[in-house]
Amino acid sequence: MTIAAWPVVDRHRVVHAYKPGEPSAAEGPFRTLRGHAWASSGVRVTRRAGGHLVGQLTVFSSLNVESARLARHGNLDAAVRVARAAATLEAGPEFTRLQRILSDLPGHDAERVVEGVMPEAAPAALAGALKAVARRTERLRAGESILATLAEVIAGRIAEVHEGYVVLVRVTGPATMVPRWMAVAAQRDKVGELLALVMDKLDNASAVVEAVPAIDVDEDAVERAFTPFGRGDVRVRDLTRADERLLAGEPQPLRILVPVLING
Amino acid sequence: MSEPGWRVRSGRPADGDLLASFTCADAAVGWQVEVEQFIRSQLINWTFDPHAQSGDPRLLLAFVTATNELFGVAAHERVTLQGGDGARFNATKLELLAIVTPWQGRRFRTGERASDVLMSTVMTDISARVPPRDARVFALVHEDNERSIALCRRHGLVDEMSRPHPDYRRLVTLHKPRATDRARS
């Protein structure tokens, strides 16, 4: 099992990483991040009900949290690189698939997913899509060595729940006690659930500690399997934004090199 | 005018026995074996699945006129490609195209490649469908399948979409930017 932080976030999480302790709904900090290319634009999810538009939300790759943190620490070039990686991820097939699944969820389920909650009636494909985004996120993170030293992450499974704390057990390594209210805020306060603690250093004696939902990114057999044949695999028909731009062009007439007569 | 060296017809449910012995794979190459197995055991069901007829699935068989030997199999159907924001594009998916092992890389006496005859069969069939198919035709090709990639290119599948899986390329017919897009850029 490989446990990683939840791969998608809302704008508040990005702003919080940039200006911890300040109101995360403020427009200014996010404008600053975008203005310096320290954050990507995110992906807009349109929610419909009965054929009508009922709302929109913007979903960001969690890499934006890292780029915002880098910007706060003054690593501005790295912030730009990581934000660019976030934009690449958001334009890729994994994110596109997730975007479409979120668009089809009823009510406010899409917002809940971004917060780390899997709705009870969620399609099976949602978990796979989130894992695919999380795996891609981890690969991109691995390519940016500075992220390994920027914040310490303790990710694991909740093994015990007590009145005031939960016990978080890593896949390998010691257990950690986490205040229960933090686990509740991260939507992870039950035995077996996956949680990550992110310790973001402020100075030599202090840090911002954040509890965030986590996900097991290992592929299951179904995710690994891919066949180009048949009608069962939606990946065959999924388009990215780049694909859409390509297909919006004018398809050229079919090319027939050899005259052929087809009988029956 | 002499008769061409090939003869092509649509597939029938009774062709299952004929396809059950179709051989096109090197047993050591997984993606080739997958093609062969699909042809042998699933292609008839894929073509005649009553729940899939809205996609107009088509099975095409190509024979050598002189010997009546089956030298190639191809299949295609109409699909809808879908973007994350709800954008939809009608297209034809080239489900498969396979040449039996003895005919791979071979030409007819008149010079035509067996693979070009089969791909031309597919394009001719797509062009003739009623209601008309969209001119967007795409194929999923294993990245190591250089022969099929070259074949697709010869027949106009020169643009490339994102990969549905790291091992598979998604080639599609050429698209030119529309006049409005050109004016904007």
How close is the nearest chain A Cα to the Cα of B94, in Å?
10
- Is the CB of residue B56 less than 8 Å away from at least one CB of chain A? no
Q: Does position B86 have pLDDT exceeding 80, yes or no?
A: no
Q: If you average pLDDT over every residue of chain B, what do you get?
A: 92
| B113-164 per-position pLDDT tens digit | 999 999 999 999 999 999 889 889 999 999 899 999 999 999 999 999 988 8
How close is the nearest chain A Cα to the Cα of B47, in Å?
10
User: Most B CBs within 10 Å: which of A90, A102, A260, A263, as the mutation test of the B interface?
Assistant: A260
Banded model confidence at residue A222, pLDDT cuts 50, 70, 90: low
How close is the nearest chain B Cα to the Cα of A28, in Å?
28
For A43-64, what is the mean pLDDT?
86
pLDDT score, position A50: 67
Q: Do B137 and A254 touch (CB under 8 A)?
A: yes
For B5-30, what is the mean pLDDT?
94
- Is the CB of residue B128 less than 8 Å away from at least one CB of chain A? yes
Q: Does position A249 have pLDDT exceeding 80, yes or no?
A: yes
Q: Do B85 and A103 touch (CB under 8 A)?
A: yes
| A147-171 per-position pLDDT tens digit | 888 888 999 999 888 999 999 988 7
How many beta-carbon contacts under 8 Å exist across A and B? 173
Say which of A229, A250, A258 has its CB closest to residue B117. Answer: A258
- Is the CB of residue A95 less than 8 Å away from at least one CB of chain B? yes
How close is the nearest chain A Cα to the Cα of B117, in Å?
6
For A60-84, what is the mean pLDDT?
96
- Is the CB of residue B176 less than 8 Å away from at least one CB of chain A? yes
Q: Are B118 and A246 in contact (CB under 8 A)?
A: no
User: Residue A233 is encoded by which pair of tokens?
Assistant: 């695999």
pLDDT score, position B180: 65
> What residue of A is the nearest CA neighbor of B123?
A256
For A222-236, what is the mean pLDDT?
80
Q: If you average pLDDT over every residue of chain A, what do you get?
A: 89
| A91-113 per-position pLDDT tens digit | 988 899 899 889 888 888 899 99
User: Most A CBs within 10 Å: which of B68, B165, B184, as the mutation test of the A interface?
Assistant: B165
- Which superfamily does B6-136 belong to? Gcn5-related N-acetyltransferase (GNAT) (3.40.630.30)
User: Residue B150 is encoded by which pair of tokens?
Assistant: 């070259």
pLDDT score, position A113: 95
Q: Do B127 and A44 touch (CB under 8 A)?
A: no
Can you give chain B as a three-state secondary structure string?
CCCCCEEEEECCHHHHHHHCCCCCCCCCCHHHHHHHHHHHHCHHHHHHCHHHHHHCCEEEEEEECCCCCEEEEEEEEEEEEEECCCCEEEEEEEEEEEECHHHCCCECCCCCEHHHHHHHHHHHHHHHCCCCCCCCEEEEEECCCHHHHHHHHHCCCCEEEEEEECCEEEEECCEECCHHHHHHC
pLDDT score, position A224: 62
Q: Are B175 and A253 in contact (CB under 8 A)?
A: no
| B20-46 per-position pLDDT tens digit | 999 999 988 889 999 999 999 999 999
Instruction: In whole angstroms, give the CA distance from residue B171 to residue B124.
Output: 19
Q: Does position A202 have pLDDT exceeding 80, yes or no?
A: yes
Phi first, then psi, for residue A70 (nearest 5°) are -60, -40
pLDDT score, position A226: 85
What's the pTM? 0.60
Q: Does position B49 have pLDDT exceeding 50, yes or no?
A: yes
Q: Does position A220 have pLDDT exceeding 70, yes or no?
A: no
Say which of A96, A226, A251 has its CB closest to residue B84. Answer: A96
pLDDT score, position A217: 87
Q: Does position A190 have pLDDT exceeding 80, yes or no?
A: yes
- Is the CB of residue B140 less than 8 Å away from at least one CB of chain A? yes
Say which of A100, A239, A262 has its CB closest to residue B60. Answer: A262
Phi first, then psi, for residue A107 (nearest 5°) are 50, -130
Say which of B117, B121, B174 has its CB closest to residue A252. Answer: B174
Say which of A242, A247, A257 has its CB closest to residue B89. Answer: A247
Q: Does position A173 have pLDDT exceeding 60, yes or no?
A: yes
> What residue of A is the nearest CA neighbor of B61?
A262
> What ranges do the domains of chain B cover?
6-136
- Is the CB of residue B159 less than 8 Å away from at least one CB of chain A? yes
Q: Do B164 and A236 touch (CB under 8 A)?
A: yes
Banded model confidence at residue A232, pLDDT cuts 50, 70, 90: confident
Q: Does position A223 have pLDDT exceeding 70, yes or no?
A: no
pLDDT score, position B185: 45
Select the more confidently predicted residue: A36 or A26: A36
Instruction: Quote the ipTM score.
Output: 0.90
Instruction: In whole angstroms, give the CA distance from residue A178 to residue A197.
Output: 8
Say which of B12, B82, B156 has its CB closest to residue A239. Answer: B82
